[in-house]
Structure 1
Amino acid sequence: MELSKLPLVLLLICNIYSGQTEETEGSGILQLSNEGPRAVLSVSPQKWLTEGDPVTLNCEVNSSSTGWTFSWFTVILSSVIICIFSLNTDLSDRYEQLSDSSRGAGGKYTVSSVALKHTGVYVCRAERGKPAYTKYSNTQPLWVTGVSPPVSLIISPSRTQHFTSDSLSLSCEDQSNSDGWTVRRYTESWGLTDCSSLHQGSQTGSTCTISSTSTLDTGVYWCQSESGEKYHPVNITVHSGVILESPVHPVTEGETLTLCCLYKHTSPSVLRADFYKDGSLVQNQTTEMIIPTVSKSHEGFYYCKPPERGESPKSWISVRGSHSYSQISVLHTLTSVLAACPYLLVTVVLIYKCCRMRGKTPE
């Protein structure tokens, strides 16, 4: 059996053992029929967010939209890990109900301003009557990037897309010390795992090393503290063909963004290609795409397409506001207020004098 298919076979066995026969989206697993209502979870506007952004999780039931009450959960373990190590068929052990789950009673769970703590993988479930529960929904991850996170995920080579069979290193670096941090990840095949559970992975201190990458390593990686706090999620894609060289960290407004198209089996590895943003061609037949001054409008999904080589996977380029821009804005506001103060003071004094003069006027 091919090693790349092993996680899918294990997941199928575990799902059958635990009584889950529902379809697993995007996994390529044999789809077994399962009658009855099913909860479907979606996210709006997107799963990649910056601290302070709004987000809404929408839970719907495919058979009917009336009379249902909803519960909301975060995924704490993958089904494969539970099946292999604990042989536990109680699916509630995989999920942790949100403390404010009742806030999403209408099928919509809304967070007006996300924080780093909202990073995680979510599912929902609906109930109508007792004990008429739907099965748990499909998973929907939310990844929240902090404005100034206390720890950084350092990736080597420093890019978000990587070739198969390459070595990859991920380290959590804190300004004070790197102790107590663990590299964790979420993938379609394995769910939530840490580095030491990977086939080619090992964890030394706060550094995760994958000696030989495969497409199964595609997923989101982040730094997690001993208390469970999650910081600096990064989407890593492993691909056997063309890849896009793009920055790991969000680009700051006003900086320069450079994108390249790479192919492992040519020398030099940089290819002449067309570059796309959100599906639209933005630059054609060039070895690198350069945006000299990045703004928020440049945020989006990018990929490259060289002639006769296929195309690279898509990478999300995040743009954060410049701190210097914020300082200029605050300074401008303070200057305006101070400039208006003399006029305001003169007006108050004139009004006061007018009132006193009226009070002294004989009747």
Structure 2
Amino acid sequence: MLVLCCVGQAKAFLTIHPKSSQIFSGESVTFRCNIQRGKVTDWKYTWRKDDVDSISRKHEYEISEVNISNSGDYRCLGEHIDNGTYSQWSDAVRLTVTGKSSNLSFTSVSPYTGETVTLTCSVGSDSGWSYTWYKDNTKNVVTLSDRHTTTGATFTISRAAESDQGLYWCQGEIQSRSISSIISDPVTFTVNGE
């Protein structure tokens, strides 16, 4: 067990990339441990996830494809290679890995002819998602018309008609991080006569 009590100890700082409120399964994540004094090569590093430690000469710790089991609290610590002194532990950085499922909801899946219906697609709270809409088994992109509009995560059908009936899907994408969600489960949309 390491006892860290010395005045003037160097402090370890841990950062995570990408820095996002949501990290999705399959993404690459890199932790970087920076210590106030000296070069990164002057230290060897202890990486701690929850209560499990591992030792490395590298100041970076990469997980090439994260999954749910990688979620947890991460810390790092440096041991100076020349004199054996230790830095302080870094503050904990929490990694929360979530799935990439798209969820599709309707204001109504069985409206009457002429009613307005809004479909909402969501993957998570990250605002960087853009959405693609699909209709029927061939997964053709929904055709926009004077009755169909899209605004981010919503697709609106005004004056619902029989031609709008069918199966609908949606999918989210964050282009800047090159990730796509799993396509949502299909929802059957039926329009009732007046």
With normalisation by structure 2, the TM-score equals 0.51
What is the alpha-carbon distance in structure 2 between the residues aligned to residue 298 and residue 123 of structure 1? Answer: 30
Are 1:140 and 2:93 an aligned pair?
yes
What is the alpha-carbon distance in structure 1 between the residues aligned to residue 130 and residue 180 of structure 2? Answer: 6
Q: Structure 1 regions of 5+ residues with no counterpart?
A: 1-17, 22-33, 76-95, 149-245, 257-287, 301-317, 325-363
Q: Structure 2 regions of 5+ residues with no counterpart?
A: 102-119, 135-150, 156-169, 186-194
Give the alignment's Cα RMSD to 1 decimal.
4.0
Are 1:35 and 2:8 an aligned pair?
yes
Whichever structure has more strand as a proportion of its residues is 2
Offset, 1:54:
0.4
> Larger C-alpha radius of gyration, 1 or 2?
1
Q: Give the structure 1 partner of residue 158 of structure 2.
A: none
What is the alpha-carbon distance in structure 1 between the residues aligned to residue 180 and residue 63 of structure 2? Answer: 21
Are 1:119 and 2:71 an aligned pair?
yes
One-letter code aligned to 2:33: C
What is the alpha-carbon distance in structure 2 between the residues aligned to residue 295 and residue 146 of structure 1? Answer: 12
Are 1:97 and 2:52 an aligned pair?
yes
Q: Which has the higher contact order (CA 8 A, sep 6+)?
A: 2
Aligned pair partner of 1:320 in 181, 187, 190:
181
One-letter code aligned to 2:43: W
Q: Is the 8 A contact 2:123 2:181 kept in 1?
A: no
Offset, 1:290:
5.7
What is the alpha-carbon distance in structure 2 between the residues aligned to residue 127 and residue 105 of structure 1? Answer: 10
Instruction: Report how many aligned residue pairs link the two structures.
Output: 127
What is the alpha-carbon distance in structure 1 between the residues aligned to residue 100 and residue 152 of structure 2? Answer: 26
Whichever structure has more helix as a proportion of its residues is 1
What is the alpha-carbon distance in structure 2 between the residues aligned to residue 106 and residue 141 of structure 1? Answer: 20
One-letter code aligned to 1:40: F
Residues 234-273 of structure 1 aligned to structure 2 (within 5 Å): 250=124, 253-254=131-132
SS at match of 2:69: helix
Q: Is the 8 A contact 1:52 1:115 kept in 2?
A: yes
Q: Kindly tell me: are residues 323 and 295 of structure 1, through their superposed partners in 2, closer, same or farther at Cα, counting changes over 3 Å?
A: closer
Q: Give the structure 2 partner of residue 108 of structure 1.
A: 60
Offset, 1:254:
3.0
One-letter code aligned to 1:39: A
With normalisation by structure 1, the TM-score equals 0.29
